[in-house]
Amino acid sequence: MPADLHIHTNFSDGTFSPEEIVRKARDAGLTVISITDHDIVDGIEPALAEGRKLGIRVIPGIEFTTDLPDTEIHILGYFIDHKAEWLKDLLFKIREDRKNRIYKIVEKLKKLGAAVSAEDIIGLAGKGSVGRPHVARALVNSGFVGTVQEAFNKYLNNSGPAYVQHFRLSPVDAIHTIIKAGGIPVFAHPSVSRRDELIPELAAEGLAGIEVYYGKHSDLQVKHYQALARKNGLLMTGGTDFHGLGTGRDIQLGDIKLNDKFITKLEERLKK
């Protein structure tokens, strides 16, 4: 049962619908996937429905961006109760501020010479969670930059001239939120956040796993995070962080195939 536990749909900044993701996952030889959109759970039901048709298991998931000076930590949640009203309310609030932030980003971009409209960018996300990748796509569409990658490198990355934060939870609050929703909190792509030193204290707050298997991780990094997981009594997960086409990322569905035993371990944790 090969699995990929980190996938985005067009309910956040991915380019494929949940149904398309399930079909692509099947074509790539996956049998278990988790939909982990940023700050939204609305893609989960459509994925579950398509998964039932095609015999693909879909684990409800989420990815929270959390707030730390100088860096971002992303916390994944697995097996969350995606129907919980309080959770949907919280996510709605975060998404509203994601929209507000787009206006601020557009103001900064205007001063930098780019003419893109906040309404158009928000429109690109539809009813979903709007983010910097949508801004990047609008900048490409307007011809101001050639690629999404260029938009991030020159303007949108965390230290870029058009960067604006949105309301986000602290890492500890994200962990507690996922636990309250019945889920398992996991530290996403630790090599990207580069704050390994926080892992013991987050584990003490309920962090249950580390995303050891990740597209950009070298063999050495995988070994490093395996050791860190063992040392802190954490589970190991993995996924591609697939976002679709034209998103400035090369990785494809099927490039990471997590062994069954990791899913079993997550399920054992749920029973505790």
Binding site for ligand AMP (CB under 6 A): 13, 38, 65, 131-133, 148-149, 152, 157, 243, 248
At its nearest, how many Å lie between Zn ion and the CB of residue 265?
26
Of 241, 185, 245, 255, whose CA–CA distance to 8 is shortest? 241
> Among ligand AMP, Fe ion, Zn ion, none, what binds residue 11 when CB lies within 5 to 8 Å by partner kind?
none
Cα–Cα distance measured from residue 68 to residue 57, given in angstroms and rounded to the nearest whole number: 34
> Among ligand AMP, Zn ion, Fe ion, none, what binds residue 182 when CB lies within 5 to 8 Å by partner kind?
none
Residue type, 29: G
Residue type, 265: K
Does 13 sit near Zn ion (CB under 5 A)? yes
Of 227, 226, 251, 224, whose CA–CA distance to 239 is shortest? 251
Of 87, 102, 169, whose CA–CA distance to 134 is shortest? 102
Binding mask 230-249 for Fe ion (x = CB under 5 A): -----------x--------
Locus of tokens 């997550």: 266
Q: Would you say 13 or 42 has its CB closer to ligand AMP?
A: 13
At its nearest, how many Å lie between Zn ion and the CB of residue 9?
10
Q: Is 221 exposed, middle or buried (0-12, 13-18, 19+ CB in 10 A)?
A: middle
Of 226, 232, 181, whose CA–CA distance to 204 is shortest? 232
Q: Would you say 156 or 234 has its CB closer to Zn ion?
A: 156
Which one of 73-81, 91-99, 136-144, 213-221 is the stretch in contact with Fe ion (CB under 5 A)?
73-81
Which one of 5-13, 137-145, 158-166, 174-182 is the stretch in contact with Zn ion (CB under 5 A)?
5-13
Contact positions vs Zn ion (CB under 5 A): 13
